[in-house]
Amino acid sequence: MDIAEVARRSGLPASTLRYYEERGLIASVGRQGLRRTFDPGVLELLSLISLGQAAGFSLDEIAKMFTPEKRPDIKRQMLEDKADHIDGLVRRLRAMSRGLRHAAVCPAPSHMECPSFRRLLKSATDGSLDSRLGGRKT
């Protein structure tokens, strides 16, 4: 399958495919004239890469999920660690959402006069905001 077909079927631009190849995430199997060709299995690899990115893995982390032969070899601990990170992010975002909702309905004349908002502001200033929001610094 040539690079144009892979781009069409994956929804990724050819430039991204070339970049992924440079990074060692995928490998072409040859050329048709000037165009790279790929094994049809590259589409599954690209799906795994997209899934990894959607989960917040970096390309370096994703690269570690494949054998040198480009077969998936995903360590369960890596998935567990990312799930823990996402759970912490969700807790922090929920806490921030609650703070914003409180600020939206707070009866204080201004946000700067709201005791809850002032505590949140102080936490942001002294660096403890992340721990107040239920997470750790990343």
- 47-103 pLDDT, tens per residue? 999 999 999 999 999 999 988 888 889 999 999 999 999 999 898 888 888 888 888
pLDDT of residue 42: 95
Long-range contacts of 56-64 (CB under 8 A, 24+ apart): 56/82, 56/85, 56/86, 57/82, 59/20, 59/23, 59/25, 62/25, 63/23, 63/24, 63/25
pLDDT of residue 33: 86
pLDDT of residue 115: 84
What would the CATH number be for the domain defined by 3-63? Answer: 1.10.1660.10
pLDDT of residue 129: 65
On average, the pLDDT of the chain sits at: 87
Integer angstrom CA distances of residue 29 from 4, 21, 36, 68, 69: 14, 11, 8, 14, 12
pLDDT of residue 53: 96
